[in-house]
Amino acid sequence: MTPALGVCYYPEHWPEDWWDRDAARMAEVGIKFVRIGEFAWSRFEPSPGDLHFDWVIRAMDVLGRHGLKVVFGTPTATPPRWMVDKHPDMLAVDANGRKKGFGSRRHYDFSHLGYREEAARITQLLADAVGNHPALGGWQTDNEYGCHGTTYSYSPAAEAGFRTWLEARYGTIEALNEAWGNVFWSMEYNRFDQIELPNLLVAEAAPAHDLDFRRYASDQVAAFNKVQYDILKTKRPDLPVIHNFMGRYTEFDHYDVAETLDVASWDAYPLGHLAQSDEPEDVKRHYMRQGEPDYQAFHHDLYRSVGHGRMWIMEQQPGPVNWANFNPDPLPGMARLWAWEAFAHGAEVVSYFRWRQAPFAQEQMHAGLLRPDSEPAPAYHEASQVAAELRQTAIAGTAAKGRVAIVFDYQSEWAWQIQPQAKGFSHSAHVRAVYAAFRKHGVDIDILSPSTKSFAGYDIVAIPALFAWNDALREAIADFEGHLLLGPRSGSKTQNFAIPAALAPDLPSNLLDAKVLRIDSVDPTLEVEVRGGGGAVRHWRERIETRAEVEIEDADGWPVLIAQGKLHYLAASGNKALVQRIVDYLIAEADVPTLLLPAGVRSRVRDGFRIYVNYGSGAAVLNPAADESGYVLGTAEMPAAGVTVAKLAKAS
């Protein structure tokens, strides 16, 4: 597929006589897709049943006249004020028991079935009103599910739904009591209708109680999405249904939600997310105008997996945003670099948010391609440049399959939030550390879901910090002929959040003959050096009993990396140097080809091209790579924020 640019536009914010000029300029920039509609419910239906789609059809007419395709967003993230009068209990309740009111957005509870019907109703009305418009190019469901902490609600609706869900899952209350270990503190229930949500307790809830609540909440997001998907696909089976997910957001299982999506898109705000992240202060400062160099790429690869191979950027940061503690101006060129990197990782569309900076309301300090006075902002020119370069390079196809894959699992994210044991231990930190270590060598990576049935085709697969096996994954591991890296903490729980009878990592001894006997978790400022070769253990280490070979041990003689054939188990949380050392070792063992990338430079192969991007704040010079036949964009000398595209000698 030929990649394309898009933009987010709100015709309802501007005088109708501005629309034509706006559309003409979009076309001039080289934009193909325009997302509209997702916050406009109060204009579609100002009072109950009083429908007004005429204006938006006129807006689509205008856009279509300029050759633009519309991605239409269902407006369910912002129900109008009258909806709350109609369904006062549709408002979500926070973990402190406080109802969250109207006056911003996302003021609905995923568990509220009355609102779910209203969402279906407006979706159907919209599908009927604009579904056959010739400019229509796709749909977006709702907007940023879960944003502002909205996946979890502690409302009566959620409580009722949770009870029903539990009854469906466990059948009998005895089975639930057994699964949760409720005998522990006399927590045994007599009936499902006695079960409450795991907030506002005296001490922590049973971990299985907490995990099941998160599973339930995640299922409600999926169910909410499915209602819209079914309507939209019924109307237009030919058009993609997309949702715009977010970065670093894991409160629901995106794989599950994407079962009723054709494309996964995400909203990429590299600077805002770095500013709000828990990255070390030096990283935050060094990259404050560029974003963390692996953050975007990781999400591209993740959402390409979530989207069954199809990925868009629905919102791309164009300049300073408004929502972080500090909101720097990007380095000139970053709005171009981010787009190119997204395309390199397989993006079909990169859509800038937003066309014109709004001078009013909550996001008035958020940049657009245009300033509030309609003059071009810097990203306007960068987007034009990207459009020209796409035409010039004629890049198409999709991201090349990686030789390395990493399993990312939302439930493991929740599991270690529920039971960190070492404060700050997280599944995603381990995944990202392994990801970055491979990517440092220019190795292309795929992200896999935990329900992957086979690892065939990969040289190396890593499963860092996965909380519990499932049958598919056990089989994939048993059948895999490449190099596997597991742990720490992998397989340390059952699906019911209990320690498995055979103890972690709970694999057959013919695969890995090892048992985790106990855990030593310490303050993250403390490290135990690893013998012979650098790196250190921190946060977490496992006292392991094993007949496998000890590849690496720490200064106290505890095994750190053990291997049984090609299966490697990492029994500790490593610092950056240790993770790199282990990844380097695996790359060498598996003979995976690498690149010698300058600091700050990253790369990805798509469609016979290798795209290099320079996140550094200074210039960098590329080393020649044997499989390239020359540069089709840029040169080996890359300025800060530079992009260079190499043509591969043969398709990779």
Within positions 511 to 550, which residues make up the interface with a copy of itself, using CB under 8 A? 515, 517-523, 525-526, 543
Nearest one of 464, 440, 433 to 561, comparing CA atoms? 464
Q: Is 370 in the site for a copy of itself (CB under 8 A)?
A: no
Of the candidate spans 112-120, 124-132, 324-332, 627-635, the one that interacts with a copy of itself by CB under 8 A turns out to be 324-332
Q: Are 620 and 638 in contact (CB under 8 A)?
A: yes
Tell me which of 4, 7, 40, 579 binds a copy of itself, using CB under 8 A.
Answer: 40
Q: Is 280 in the site for a copy of itself (CB under 8 A)?
A: no
Q: Does 276 bind a copy of itself (CB under 8 A)?
A: no
User: Binding residue for a copy of itself (CB under 8 A) from 138, 146, 207, 270?
Assistant: 207
The closest of 486, 412, 424, 493 to 181, measured between CA atoms, is 493
Does position 319 interact with a copy of itself (CB under 8 A)? The reply is yes
Nearest-5° angle of CA 331, CA 336, CA 341?
A: 105
Of residues 20, 65, 89, 99, which one binds a copy of itself by CB under 8 A? 99
CA 600 to chain centre: 22
When binding is defined by CB under 8 A, the residue of 367, 433, 434, 448 that contacts a copy of itself is 367
The answer to whether 175 contacts a copy of itself (rule: CB under 8 A) is no
Q: How far apart are CA 460 and CA 480, in angstroms?
A: 9
Only one of the segments 25-33, 366-374, 387-395, 444-452 lies at the binding site for a copy of itself (rule: CB under 8 A); that segment is 366-374
Beta carbon nearer to a copy of itself, 403 or 539? 539
Nearer to a copy of itself, 92 or 239 (CB): 92
**Pick from 58, 86, 121, 148: which binds a copy of itself (CB under 8 A)?**
148
Burial per residue of 13-44, b for 16 or more beta-carbon CB atoms within 10 angstroms, e otherwise? bbeeeebeebbebbeebbbbbbbbbbbbbbbb
> According to CB under 8 A, which one of 2, 16, 18, 46 is a site residue for a copy of itself?
46
Residues 282-311 that bind a copy of itself (CB under 8 A): 284-285, 288
Question: Is 315 one of the annotated active-site residues of the chain?
Answer: yes
- Does 16 help bind a copy of itself (rule: CB under 8 A)? no
Contact residues for 212 (Cβ-Cβ < 8 A; gap 6+): 162, 166, 169, 180
List 292, 315, 348, 389, catalytic entry? 315
Span 66-85, contacts to a copy of itself by CB under 8 A: 75, 78-82, 85
Q: Is 381 in the site for a copy of itself (CB under 8 A)?
A: no
Burial class (CB in 10 A: 0-12, 13-18, 19+), 390: buried
Longest dimension (CA), the chain: 76
Q: Output the smallest distance, CB 599 to a copy of itself, in A.
A: 21
Place of tokens 């692996």: 294
Smallest distance from a copy of itself to CB 562, Å: 19
Check: CB of residue 538 under 8 Å from CB of residue 573. yes
State residue 33 phi and psi, 5-degree precision: -120, 140
328 belongs to the binding site for a copy of itself (CB under 8 A): yes
User: What minimum distance in Å lies between the beta carbon of 548 and a copy of itself?
Assistant: 18
Q: Any contact of residue 419 with a copy of itself (CB under 8 A)?
A: yes
Q: Kindly tell me which residue out of 67, 359, 565, 630 binds a copy of itself, with binding defined by CB under 8 A.
A: 359
Place of tokens 């997996």: 305
Under the binding rule (CB under 8 A), the answer on residue 121 touching a copy of itself is no
Candidates 27-35, 56-64, 184-192, 480-488 — which segment interacts with a copy of itself by CB under 8 A? 184-192
| Region near a copy of itself per CB under 8 A, out of 161-169, 369-377, 430-438, 546-554 | 369-377
Query: Of the listed pieces 185-193, 244-252, 400-408, 559-567, which binds a copy of itself according to CB under 8 A?
Result: 185-193
Q: What separation in angstroms does the CA of 200 have from each of 17, 180, 205? A: 53, 19, 9
144 is catalytic: yes
Distance CA 250, CA 413 (A): 7
Q: How far is the CB of 103 from a copy of itself (least distance, A)?
A: 5
Query: Which one, 41 or 410, has the nearer CB to a copy of itself?
Result: 41
How many CB atoms neighbour CB 156 within 10 A? 14
**In this structure, how many other beta carbons lie within 10 angstroms of the beta carbon of residue 163?**
18
Torsional sign, CA 35, 36, 39, 45: negative
Find out whether 311 and 345 touch, Cβ atoms under 8 Å: yes
- Residue 202 sits in the site that holds a copy of itself (CB under 8 A): yes
Please give the Cα distance from 602 to 621 (Å, whole number): 12
If binding is defined by CB under 8 A, does position 422 make contact with a copy of itself? yes
Q: Least distance in Å: CB of 287 to a copy of itself?
A: 12
Told to check if 169 binds a copy of itself by CB under 8 A, we report no
Two structure tokens written together for 349: 């569309």
Q: Is 373 in the site for a copy of itself (CB under 8 A)?
A: yes
Name the residue among 638, 651, 577 with its Cα closest to residue 607.
651
What x/- string results for residues 472 through 511 when contact with a copy of itself is judged by CB under 8 A? ------------------------xxxxxxxx--------
At its nearest, how many Å lie between a copy of itself and the CB of residue 646?
32
Q: What six digits make up the tokens of 14?
A: 């501007």
Q: Which of 144, 348, 413, 542 is catalytic?
A: 144
Q: Which of 61, 196, 551, 553 binds a copy of itself (CB under 8 A)?
A: 196
614 touches 629 (CB < 8 A): no
**Secondary structure of residue 643 in the 3-state scheme:** strand
Tokens of 61: 């007419």
How far apart are CB 324 and a copy of itself at their closest, in Å?
9
- 104 counts as binding a copy of itself under rule CB under 8 A: yes
In sequence order, the 6+-apart residues with CB closer than 8 A to the CB of 54 are none
Residue 574, strand partner residues: 537
Cα 363 to Cα 11, 141, 322, distances in angstroms: 16, 21, 6
Active site residue ranges: 144, 315
